Structure 1
Amino acid sequence: MNSGRAVPELAEPYLRGVLATAGLDVEYVRSEKDTVYYLDGQGEEVAVLDVVGGYGSLLLGHNHPDINDYAVELLSSGVPVHAQFSKHPYANELADALNRILHRELDTEQRFYAIFTNSGAEAIEAAVKNAELDRQLRLADLTARIDTDIEAARAAVAAGAATLPEGHTDADALAEGVRSDNAARLAAGPLFLALEGGFHGKLVGSVQYTHNEVYRSPFSALAAQARFVPPNDAGALRAAVAAEDARLDTLTVVDGQVLRTAVPFPLFCALLVEPVQGEGGIHELTAEFAEQIRLVSQEIDCPVIVDEIQSGMGRTGAFLSSAQIGLEGDYYTLAKTLGGGVAKAGVMLVRENRYREAFEMVHSSTFAKDAFSCLVGNRVLEVLEADDGAVYRRAAERGERLRRMLELIVEDYPQVLREVRGRGLILGLEFADQSESGSEEIRERARSGFFGYHLAGYLLREHRIRVFPTASAMQTLRFEPSVYITDAEVDRLEQGLRELCRLLRDGDPKVFQF
């Protein structure tokens, strides 16, 4: 405690200042379902409708009573959090429960091994690390076969059973040249395929697969590079693959002649995709593109990492939003909802044909796989799966109710709004460019780079509604409430959005004055 002294701003003070410019620097003191509360000047609670939903973490709402009571029970019982490097049956039970759900949704019996994490970004990093370990082991097998072929060719020349290619007189020099060229290609490191608009985290590795240059460029020298392609553009995906020389050379003997031939090698470590892009503006992948992802990844032996961190675990009306479009992955990353709003938990799930058991000895995390978060995760799955998946059905129904409301506003304000995107309870409302508004105040805000946050500030101040834009598409407001959002709350959101649109349409500067 600070004993009443003034405390300097030390915890991300610049961000606090940015929030203050839009009137978003509010301290919330209590929360339940889709409502958060702050204290006014008289110390009275003020209720705010929260449709941010913890950036997708709160499918079951703030402080779900069943999960909270269970969490309190676990902590009161003294359940260990720090019992690393011991038997963890609760983690195995959670992995088994996740497998049963994936088997149902993917119609497969193949096992998925689980690596538990503390966050979604860490789950992405774990998936990429396992994929690279797998790639390196496959490369080792390939280069060993190439070495065997080269030595066999040299032995055939030495025995007089084969002749060298035209222009070559020394088998040793030819072999050394092949090995040197191969080493140069391998030294360049792996490449990754990712989608424009994609977001996979901001850690050292995961930020390199996040498309937004503001987040990525300052750290581009720290990690392997990605090739970004437009979503739903199969031609661009194939062109990105074709642009790279993913071949090594070997020597073979055919009809007594040594030939220098090319063999493909796994240049691409992984292809990362979100079935519904969250931070990129709420864009969905199509079933047709999902099929092309399957074909291309098989052709180049490149594993697919399906990022379900924001769109998965029921938010779109199914446990896996990818399953709804037929997109299958070698890796699945989950987080956010897995913690039930109280635990910081994530998981990377990898198909058994891609899993490398050595990974367990080269990757670890202090807080991952602990009893508290795993047991909470199990309880979350019980809630999701109860009554034959009632939560999934409710997510689809509530999402459709919310989407219909948003589409009606778009119809009524075509000068202000562009479109509604998304599925279930991950929806985006894109605003039209207001940089040429008749209001100088609106023009300045539209050109500030923080337009969506200024829109959010208005809705919070005037309508007690908490909403934010997507991080990489500032013109798009996101809506990710819980499955418990009511018709009355949807109506309240509609009222606030309609008033916002009216002010923008009329060029009324008071929309941004406070």
Structure 2
Amino acid sequence: TGRMTIISATQSFHGKTLGALSATGNPAYQRGFGAPAPGFIHIPYGDSAALNRCLQEHAAETAAFIIEPIQGEGGVIIPPRGYLTAVQAICTKYNVPLVIDEIQTGLGRTGRLFACMEEGVKPDLLLLAKALGGGLVPIGAVLHSSKMYTKEFGLKHSSTFAGGALACYAGLAALEKLTANDGEILKHVNSLGSYIQGRLEKICAQYDFVSLRGRGLMLGLDFQITRRTHPGNLLGLLAEQKLLTPLIASYLLHKHQLRVAPTLNGASVIRVQAPLIISQREADFLIKAIEQTLPVLDAGDTTEIFSHLLNIKPSPKKLAPRKPGRQLKPGADQTRFAFLVHPLDDHSVMDFDEYLAKLSPDNLSTIVNRWLPEMDPFVIGEAVIPSKTGCSAFCEFINIPRTASQLLAMDPKESLSLVRQGIELAKERGAQLVGLGAYTSVVSWGGMGLREAGVPLTTGNSYTVITACQATIAALKRLHVDPGHTTAAVVGAAGSIGRCLALLLAQSVEKIILLGNPANPRRSQAKLSQVGAEICRHLLASAPDSPLGKEIARIPGCPDSAQDEVAFLRFFTDNAPLLPITVSVDADTELPKADVVVTATSSVSNLVKPDNVKFGALICDLSRPANVSREIKSRRPDVLVIDGGVVEVWKRPDLGWNFGFDQGLCYACMAETMLLALDGHLEHTSIGSSIDLKTLDLLQNLAEKHGFRLADLRSFDKPLSKKDWQQDIASRSTAVTRDSGDGA
């Protein structure tokens, strides 16, 4: 034609060489391969009017329109009846050649020799391959009308493999077989295809998440599974990540010996394309396999779908009905915000899906290590957050699918990029503020690595500090312990939260121990000394009558509170042995001296253990994953461990997903993000390594304004009952009495 433009359809698939890839209507395939080349236009599939509009503008430069009669890789998409007839007429009108790609649909697959015969369409060019080789040898062919052939093409457009005798013999044999006995095989395809389609349509009609479409033996099962259809279920999340259909195909092969495959563009579709010579018995086998699989998917039985990958033996069981989902929409007057979360460890992946609780630790670890790294950030829940003032805000929780250990093990640039991906998702969905939960804050250096992300950020550290101090003081009160006669240890005192906790606790306790990271002792000691100097300055300025403040003021050479940081650091260094403030990186030596221990580190290890805590100690564990060994609960009944930073939201709303708390409870870092959104405080807050004490006052005031409060105290993720408090006080009293008697 002498023209250089090719028109094709969106979601089409025509091949992977540059020309075919350029015609393929899916950018995901083209990226990284120099496609599309100039001169390609993509229009909606099944829309003949779109072709007419396009040719009205581009007919003069259009060489051809290429189309699939049924989109295969696009998800077994059948166009409206009459579409092929219409586009042929339009192409004729504008003198544009029509190319029909029958590589998937041709040679009997749909019950016709060529699918375009369904509408009596005769294209200018018809493309064949795949089935032409009988499934044995690779071969392709271009069928053309006489007007489309030129002598130059025949002489000059050669190919290394063109005209291969063996492949051509296979092609001829395939054609003979298909046309033998008056098209007996084609009649068989129509008969068995109609039977399979009819049976599967009845089966699919029982479920709200799957449908069947296709023609002949070119069928596709479309699984419309999402986190809405399968709330609180990993299958819905995998489906939204385009990972579920490969898993279903794998399950069908290994559990039912049925080989199917997902379509490449239509990620929710599994193609059911049996051999053209399938028997009745094999058709029933196929139907039964799908019939037995759909109830498993309906129930969201994740363990069963994964069982062939985890070597789990099947066990007869009655599947529980699937829970209904919910869908919230933000109000026009609501501030929209997002909070980034992630599974803290393998065990907390069960928050995604209650079925995972059935797995052994090894099998759960397999899912975490093999599947989480394949996933991108996703929305795991949404909620409307109410306020005592009557206003509300709309929250979406976005999951970063890596555990704390996985995030720490990643290259820092990769982990930061992953968190940035979560922020971009939040922005795309309308978030005006983003909170950085757990290790998303750690790997972004307290949010500083993302401060140019184009949306206000918060780590939630300020309200975390406030609630941790509130929880510690409240617990001491319940235990009838005077804070002014205690020694407190802050594990992770050089960090953002630990530093601020040390400043606040120092206002109430008699002595304080600042513990840092033993992996970098010199650097840690220097940072801890700076915190110690800051404590001295803060107490002299803000709490001179506190036990620690009075003790510091008595030391000769104590600077005036108006002096600068350098003066206080010199004072602290010169008088370290005299000060009621200890800095150390040796937790095993110092923790046994502490009546109160608060942990606030980014370590994933158990730093506080049964053998390194004082009798009767109170421990407030802020770290997630926890820094306190669970063995303390069984081995040290005299020690009380409380979970720090747990908040009760006003009116206790459903937060839309399970993360181990009762309804309406959340972590303080989440609550800070909620409070800032409710108050319209849309600016960076609590980011970096240093928390401003003024920000603590702001968050405390916002909590009171909007009706948030410290939740009832909890221990190892469970509420402390009145009986628990009585038992703890009794165990302490019994031991003290016994010790006093021994001393007498």
Alignment partner of 1:229 is 2:23: no
What's the counterpart of residue 442 of structure 1?
Answer: 235
Q: Which among 286, 301, 320 is matched to residue 493 of structure 1? A: 286
Shift of 1:200: 0.6
Alignment partner of 1:424 is 2:238: no
TM-score (norm 2): 0.40
Q: Does the CA-based 8 Å contact 1:279-1:471 persist in structure 2? A: yes
Partner of 1:452, secondary structure, is: helix
Output one character per residue of 1:43-92: Cα deviation in whole Å (capped at 9) or x when no partner.
xxxxxxxxxxxxxxxxxxxxxxxxxxxxxxxxxxxxxxxxxxxxxxxxxx
CA distance in 1: counterparts of 2:171 and 2:87, whole angstroms = 30
Q: Does the CA-based 8 Å contact 1:445-1:454 persist in structure 2? A: no
What stretches of structure 2 of length at least 5 have no aligned partner?
A: 311-744
Shift of 1:497: 1.6
Q: 1:481 and 1:402, CA in 2 relative to 1: closer, same or farther beyond 3 A?
A: same
What's the counterpart of residue 127 of structure 2?
Answer: 333
What's the counterpart of residue 397 of structure 1?
Answer: 191
Q: Does 395-404 or 486-495 show the bigger shift?
A: 486-495
Output one character per residue of 1:78-117: Cα deviation in whole Å (capped at 9) or x when no partner.
xxxxxxxxxxxxxxxxxxxxxxxxxxxxxxxxxxxxxxxx
TM-score (norm 1): 0.57
Shift of 1:287: 4.3
Q: Which among 278, 293, 310 is matched to residue 104 of structure 2? A: 310
Q: Does the CA-based 8 Å contact 1:280-1:470 persist in structure 2? A: yes
What's the counterpart of residue 482 of structure 1?
Answer: 275
What's the counterpart of residue 55 of structure 2?
Answer: 241
Aligned residues: 306
Shift of 1:349: 1.3
What's the counterpart of residue 137 of structure 2?
Answer: 343
Alignment of 1:362-377 (within 5 A): 362-377=156-171
What's the counterpart of residue 10 of structure 2?
Answer: 196
CA distance in 1: counterparts of 2:246 and 2:280, whole angstroms = 25
Greater RCO (Cα-Cα under 8 Å, separation 6 or more): 1
Alignment partner of 1:273 is 2:71: no
Letter in 2 for 1:373: A
Q: Which among 460, 483, 493 is matched to residue 253 of structure 2? A: 460
Alignment partner of 1:411 is 2:235: no
- Greater Cα radius of gyration, structure 1 or 2: 2
Shift of 1:225: 3.4
Q: 1:276 and 1:337, CA in 2 relative to 1: closer, same or farther beyond 3 A?
A: same
Q: Does the CA-based 8 Å contact 2:99-2:124 persist in structure 1? A: yes
Q: Which among 85, 92, 99 is matched to residue 298 of structure 1? A: 92
Q: 1:269 and 1:400, CA in 2 relative to 1: closer, same or farther beyond 3 A?
A: same
Partner of 1:360, secondary structure, is: helix
CA distance in 2: counterparts of 1:460 and 1:228, whole angstroms = 36
Alignment of 1:129-140 (within 5 A): 135-136=1-2
Q: 1:380 and 1:304, CA in 2 relative to 1: closer, same or farther beyond 3 A?
A: same
In percent, how many aligned pairs have the same letter?
31
Q: Which among 177, 185, 191 is matched to residue 383 of structure 1? A: 177
Runs of 4+ in 1 over 4 A off after TM superposition: none
Alignment of 1:100-139 (within 5 A): 135-136=1-2
What's the counterpart of residue 359 of structure 1?
Answer: 153
CA distance in 2: counterparts of 1:464 and 1:479, whole angstroms = 13
Shift of 1:330: 0.4
Letter in 1 for 2:238: R
Output one character per residue of 1:208-246: Cα deviation in whole Å (capped at 9) or x when no partner.
1111211124335562332222222122112222344x5
Q: 1:221 and 1:387, CA in 2 relative to 1: closer, same or farther beyond 3 A?
A: closer
What's the counterpart of residue 583 of structure 2?
Answer: none
Letter in 1 for 2:54: A
Letter in 1 for 2:218: I
Q: Does the CA-based 8 Å contact 1:439-1:508 persist in structure 2? A: no
Alignment of 1:253-268 (within 5 A): 265=60, 267-268=61-62
Output one character per residue of 1:327-346: Cα deviation in whole Å (capped at 9) or x when no partner.
22100111111111212111
Partner of 1:465, secondary structure, is: coil
Output one character per residue of 1:234-273: Cα deviation in whole Å (capped at 9) or x when no partner.
22112222344x5xxxxxxxxxxxxxxxxxx3x0111001
What's the counterpart of residue 470 of structure 1?
Answer: 263
Q: Does the CA-based 8 Å contact 1:406-1:429 persist in structure 2? A: no
